């Protein structure tokens, strides 16, 4: 099992527009993850449909359409992180996908509080600040969707001296 891996993180429009970018990025930096790719992107229909292809099947067309509308409300900061067990650890830092139930100390638990029920009642997507790949395979697919190979970088960090 490969321990050093990469994952995709998206700071969604609500996180960017609320000015939480630096505070969220610092959590990953503080944990020792390496930023190997980063760019700001406006999510168009084509990119959104490719990234969230399974949402309509899993959650229904209405949820998918609300998500697509939400993701087009502002720019997204796309990030590729690298480190030890990155997929699992980044998801722990992000917290549960429903901010209302996300634990304190996680990104969603500290910076959001809305519930699935509230979002459904308001007929909108859940604004939960961040997307983090769910598995190593999903991460590989998502990174390839969001980044060209030449947009990803290799370099040594001070953490690598102590960990590796």
| Orientation of helix 136-146 relative to helix 86-94, angle to 10° | 80
If we measure between CA atoms, which residue out of 11, 150, 20, 158 comes closest to residue 79? 11
Write out the DSSP string of 22-90.
Answer: HHHHHHHHHTT-EEEEEEEE---HHHHHHHTTTHHHHH-HHHHHHHHHHHTSS-EEEEEEEEETHHHHH
Contacts of 53 (CB under 8 A, 6+ apart): none
DSSP state letter for 103: P
Residue from 113, 131, 159, 162 carrying the catalytic annotation? 131
131 is known as an active-site residue: yes
Q: From 158, 9, 161, select the one nearest 81 (Cα to Cα).
A: 9
Catalytic residues: 131
């Amino acid at each position: 099992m490969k321990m050093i891996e990469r994952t995709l993180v998206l700071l969604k429009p609500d996180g960017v527009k609320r000015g939480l970018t630096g505070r969220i990025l610092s959590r990953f930096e503080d944990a020792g993850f390496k930023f190997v790719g980063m760019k700001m992107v406006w999510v168009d229909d084509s990119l959104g449909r490719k990234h969230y292809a399974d949402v309509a099947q899993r959650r229904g067309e209405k949820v998918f359409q609300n998500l697509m509308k939400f993701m087009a409300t502002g720019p997204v900061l796309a990030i590729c992180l690298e480190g030890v067990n990155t997929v699992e650890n980044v998801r722990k830092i992000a917290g549960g996908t429903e901010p209302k139930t996300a634990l304190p100390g996680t990104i969603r638990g500290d910076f959001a509080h809305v519930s699935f029920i509230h979002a459904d009642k308001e007929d909108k997507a859940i604004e939960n600040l961040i997307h983090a790949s769910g598995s190593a395979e999903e991460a590989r697919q998502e990174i390839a969707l969001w980044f060209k190979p030449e947009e990803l970088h290799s370099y040594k960090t001070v953490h690598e001296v102590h960990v590796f």
